[in-house]
Amino acid sequence: MVKGSKQAVTHARVVIVGTGFAGLGMAIQMKKEGQTDFIVLEKAGDVGGTWRDNNYPGCACDVQSHLYSFSFEPNPNWTRMFAPQPEIWNYLREVTDKHGLRPFIRFNSGLQKAVWDESAHLWRITTSDGAELTANVLISGMGGLSRAAYPNIKGLETFKGKSFHSQDWAHDYDLKGKRVAVIGTGASAIQFVPKVQKQAAHIDLYQRTPPWIMPKPDREITDSERKLFKRFPATQRAFRSAIYWMLESRVAGFVINPRLMKVVERVARSHIRKQIKDPVLRAKVTPDYTIGCKRVLISDDYYPALASSNVDVITTGIQEVRANSIVTTDGVEREIDTLIFGTGFHATDPLPTGMVYGENGVDIMDAWKNGAEAYKGTTVNGFPNLFLIVGPNVGLGHSSMVYMIESQIAYVLDALKLMEKKNIKSLDVKAEPQAAYNRDIQKQLDGAIWSVGGCNSWYIDPKSGKNVTLWPGFTWAFRRKLRKFDADAYVRRA
């Protein structure tokens, strides 16, 4: 409690925000180090982040579960190569309980505002449930893909039917017999459209850009395999390692020599040919950009769903939404009962405006008006003692985000230890190392597949035209950069 304040203000050395892989992983590692002076803020009522919020039909990871999980918490019980959402959410809840994290978490308590107090070297925090806190260190695990994005379409607010975003699936709403419009054909849509197709009377699928889709190497993990993993954990480690290196080899095409992606493109084209007979539909779903420029997706049931008689793929732009219909720019009006947004997330703004204020009261979003950037994806000049897990340019197009998250956690943990050992009150990354780091990142991105032929995607910040989302290289190279906290890059105040 801070003396002299009107209201009770709780102090913790560290406040962590979020209980997805990032927030939970950070809390677990702190606890393992015996650092228990921390509070975790979670705006929702349970842990799980992405895997709590995204529970639409068909939701599953698209990186093999044996890699898409904590290295220190292997799960021998995954039932499929790509576990469905309930299993991943369950895994995160089990991990939370196993490590006794619940007493540290304040549920339904969202970070509303965090203001850096320069004289006290503290973050002054207010939460959505009216609490006030101070913390020496603020760690954001708020997620790169947690704020739903909606399209800006004329008349959306006039729609009288049922509408929802894939992240807020209306499970109590029966789709049976309904005329459904789906807007968007990204990673979530390709998972839920095949499920909706089986229930709805009809789907109009509004597609702006088709994704490249590869066959999904999914299968059940057999009982005997699971037994083997349980009895001989080394076999599971070997399996994880094999998956890791297999996925890592993709960097060759994404970054080193984008021409290699032609081979991948041939596989994707053949996937379309095998699954879709109608030449008109084939043409509609065949992208006209180099594979890899946008996220490459995997599915075996999406194309067959589109080829069904109750699905129309509409490539003409939407002019407006009316009370019970959608009108396209060619003047055609299609009646609907239900509108589902598969329009993804705000990926290029890692934080909302008006939430985090650093030195001189600067909003981090103003500091990022030319595109978000951080040092090693983690710290931002002018925002002392703030660490962002899954900050700018940490996202991946080819492998597991959990690997990146664990790399960042190790870096932050090292910083916390140093602060304690040397009695450092604040750490602020210097402007020059941050600028140099980002120049280097952007240089690498220039030659990579995401920049080929002016490719545009949700990876690119619309304000600056910069790719502020992806890490352009091998994940082990990122880990190596973050292996040790490099105090020399920081202004340290004792």
Ligand X SMILES: Cc1cc2nc3c(=O)[nH]c(=O)nc-3n(C[C@H](O)[C@H](O)[C@H](O)COP(=O)(O)OP(=O)(O)OC[C@H]3O[C@@H](n4cnc5c(N)ncnc54)[C@H](O)[C@@H]3O)c2cc1C
By CB under 6 A, the residues from 428 to 457 that bind ligand X are none
Q: How far is the CB of 167 from ligand X (least distance, A)?
A: 7
State phi, psi for 319 to the nearest 5 degrees.
-90, -50
How many helices (H) and strands (E) the chain has is answered by 14, 20
* 3-state secondary structure at position 409: helix
Distance CA 133, CA 288 (A): 51
Structure tokens at 242: 């094999």
Q: Which is nearer to ligand X, 325 or 379 (CB)?
A: 379
- The answer to whether residue 105 forms part of the interface with ligand X (CB under 6 A) is no
- Pick one of 203, 297, 390, 419: the residue that binds ligand X (CB under 6 A): 390
| Residue closer to ligand X (CB basis): 299 or 325 | 299
Select from 26-34, 37-45, 71-79, 366-374 the region that touches ligand X (CB under 6 A).
37-45
Residue (of 302, 62, 345) closest to 193 by Cα position: 302
Region of 36-44, 199-207, 208-216, 292-300 interacting with ligand X (CB under 6 A): 36-44
CA angle 37, 43, 47 (to 5 degrees): 75
Nearer to ligand X, 51 or 490 (CB): 51
CA distance 68 to 244: 10
Query: What number of other Cβ atoms are within 10 A of residue 422's Cβ?
Result: 10
Q: How far is the CB of 144 from ligand X (least distance, A)?
A: 6
Q: Does 295 bind ligand X (CB under 6 A)?
A: no
What does the block give as tokens for 413? 């943990």
Residue 403: how many CA atoms within 13 Å on its side-chain side?
Answer: 27
- State how far the Cα of 301 lies from the Cα of 349, in Å rounded to an integer: 32
> x/- binding map, residues 64-83, to ligand X, per CB under 6 A?
----x---------------
Q: Which of 12, 14, 16, 22 binds ligand X (CB under 6 A)?
A: 22
DSSP code string of 147-170: SB-----TTGGG--SEEEEGGG--
Among 290, 400, 426, 451, binds ligand X (CB under 6 A): 400
# of chain residues touching ligand X (CB under 6 A) = 31
CA atoms within 13 A on the CB side of 231: 6
63 HSE (CA, 13 A, CB side) = 22
Find the part of the chain contacting ligand X (CB under 6 A) among 18-26, 168-176, 245-253, 292-300.
Answer: 18-26
Tell me the C-alpha distance between 75 and 73, whole Å. 6
Q: Is 203 left (phi over 0), alpha (psi -120 to 50) or beta?
A: beta
Q: Which stretch binds ligand X (CB under 6 A): 58-66, 116-124, 290-298, 368-376?
A: 58-66
CB of residue 413 to ligand X, shortest distance in Å:
16
Smallest gap from residue 82 Cβ to ligand X (A): 7
Task: Tell me: does residue 50 bind ligand X (CB under 6 A).
Answer: yes
Nearer to ligand X, 23 or 84 (CB): 23
For position 298 contacting ligand X by CB under 6 A, the verdict is no
**From 23, 258, 350, 384, residue interacting with ligand X (rule: CB under 6 A):** 23
- Residue 378 sits in the site that holds ligand X (CB under 6 A): no
| x/- track of binding to ligand X for residues 167-206 (CB under 6 A) | ---------------------x------------------
12, 15, 21, 336: which one contacts ligand X (CB under 6 A)? 21
**Considering the rule CB under 6 A, would residue 29 count as an interface residue with ligand X?**
no
Q: Which is nearer to ligand X, 218 or 265 (CB)?
A: 218
Kindly state the smallest distance separating residue 490's Cβ from ligand X, in Å.
Answer: 23
Contact between 386 and ligand X (CB under 6 A)?
no
Least CB distance to ligand X at residue 157 (A): 25
441-445, long-range: CB < 8 A, 24+ apart: 441/393, 441/471, 441/472, 442/466, 442/467, 444/255, 444/472, 444/473, 445/470, 445/472
Which residue lies nearer to ligand X by CB, 4 or 45? 45
C-beta closer to ligand X: residue 81 or 142: 142
CA 358, 364, 370, 374 dihedral sign is positive
One-letter amino acid of 54: N
In this chain, which of 12, 27, 38, 49 binds ligand X, going by CB under 6 A?
49
Q: Cβ contacts of residue 458 below 8 Å, gap of 6+?
A: 186, 294, 344, 345, 347, 348, 469
What b/e string do you get for 292-321 counting C-beta neighbours within 10 Å, with b at 16 or more? bbbbbbbbebbbebbbeeebebbeeebbeb
Length of the chain: 494
Cβ nearer to ligand X, comparing 401 with 427: 401
* Strands (DSSP E) found in 251-377: 297-298, 311-314, 318-322, 325-328, 333-335, 338-341, 356-357
**Going residue by residue from 121 to 160, which x/- string records binding to ligand X, judged by CB under 6 A?**
--------------------xxx-xx--------------
List contacts with ligand X (CB under 6 A): 17-23, 41-44, 49-50, 54, 59, 61-63, 68, 110-111, 141-143, 145-146, 188, 389-390, 400-401
